[in-house]
Amino acid sequence: MILNTGGRTDTVQYFSKWLLNRFKEGFVYSRNPLFPNKVTKYELTPDKIDCVVFCSKNYEPILNNLHEITDKFNTYFHYTITAYGKDVEPNVPDIEKSITTLLKLERIVGAKRLSWRYDPILLTEKYTIDYHLNAFEYMAKSLSGHIDRCIFSFVEMYKKLNVNMPEIILMTEKDKDVLAKGLGDIAKRHNILIQTCGTQGDYTKYGINKSGCMTLDIIGKANGVEFRNLKHRGMRKGCNCIESRDIGAYDTCLNGCRYCYANFRHNRAVENFKLHDENSPLLIGNIKEGDTVQNSSQKSFLKPDNQISLFWYQK
């Protein structure tokens, strides 16, 4: 089973102590977002988890204790650094600080287990195509040689963006093509492998690989293990990632990113955060009357010769 720690919220930035506690205790509960009274229990042991995948905009809070996870598990890290300021990402560290933290993370986990996410790309009167390309050039120069790859996507215009970011300029296919060509050229100059995420457009002519940011091939090569040849069903339209299980919760991230799909309203995230207990098996709150807890099957995707034995873990 692939464990995703950062698909629904920035667990690393705001809930690091809770995450480390869960791995120390060896299990975690995850509440079903569609059926809130249904809770799934996942065992957090190397024989049950093929890889722990992280996604964050600030790894600083967990750096000193990250070895507690990386010493025992296969891991892969997505680090999102974009061109936006506080007007779009209010509580995200600035570019310089983010780059510094990424370099610290690379010294701990190695470049082959670390990808830089430049997403989502959106356009406004301030954040123009030229603005993005100039910012991307600067970041690519700084990060070259320190990352496994760069992953980008174009913003999805879901309904709440009309309220949260009314200043967004709708992106045309020509806009996307110009951006893709520019990003591809910059990545090539700096010897960075680049690919899309959840994007159906074909930009391979610009040296950009197709979507699939969390595949068994990427995770396997990063950790020196082999997975079985399995179909990647994806998590949404245009996604070619392997199936994973997320232990986060929606409406809990305090980054306040105005384009975010995982928060309905920032005020709701603030209120939910108050219910967080770093000692609870659940990210938000605790088990309550009416909840049903079920064990997950946690099937391994690894080839048999690559599976970590329970005997090794107990040593």
pLDDT tens sequence across 49-102: 999 999 999 999 999 999 999 999 999 999 999 999 999 999 999 999 999 999
First to last CA, the chain: 22
pLDDT of residue 310: 36
Provide φ and ψ at 22, rounded to 5°.
-65, -40
pLDDT(237) > 50 = yes
User: 242 pLDDT band (50/70/90 cuts)?
Assistant: confident
Q: Whole-prediction pTM value?
A: 0.93
Write the single-letter amino acid at 185: D
CA distance 228 to 311: 22
**What residues contact 279, with CB distance under 8 A and at least 6 apart?**
18, 21
